[in-house]
Amino acid sequence: MLENEIELIKTLIQKVSSTYNIPEQEILDSIRFPSESIDVCIFSNMKLSPTEVLVKYFHENKFKKFSEIASMLKRNQNTIQTTYNNSKRKHPQNLRFYTTGVKVPLFIFQTKRFTVLESLVKYLKEQKNMTNNEIAKLIKKSNKTIWTVYDRVKNKG
């Protein structure tokens, strides 16, 4: 009986690995050492791009250094710093947000295959089984935007 459960876990890990283009070892590490999860409410800021919101949130609200954010998101530190500077110029105030209770794991943003918004929409559609309308309301985007983003995700494979 235990062998069947182990095979099921292996299959699930392989599926997550291929779907999100994340090495299987990273998935195992994230199970052993769970990463931070983020409430989707932070993405409802209409002045900033999702990437800018994510970087600004970690730097100002979680007090992370640019090097830490770059490591967490598997991005270049200079890119993270530039993104933060752009976010400060567009929205100098601290982020204000409410709690929705809908959380997404940080690891979904680590793949460079998808943008931050594409990763978010993909996760909410496929893992949380949310509709375009539900996602649109949560992150204050139009249904058409959500449809377009998810269509891009599907086309990327």
Alpha-carbon distance of 139 to 156, in angstroms, equals: 22
Question: What confidence tens digit (pLDDT) does each residue in 96-105 have?
Answer: 877 888 889 8
- pLDDT band for 118, please (50, 70, 90 cuts): very high
How far is CA 69 from each of CA 5, 60, 109, 134, 156, rounded to the nearest angstrom?
36, 11, 11, 29, 26
Which pTM value belongs to this model? 0.76
Of 11-15, 31-35, 39-43, the one with minimum mean pLDDT is: 31-35
Which are the contacts of 62, defined by CB distance < 8 A and separation ≥ 6? Answer: 36
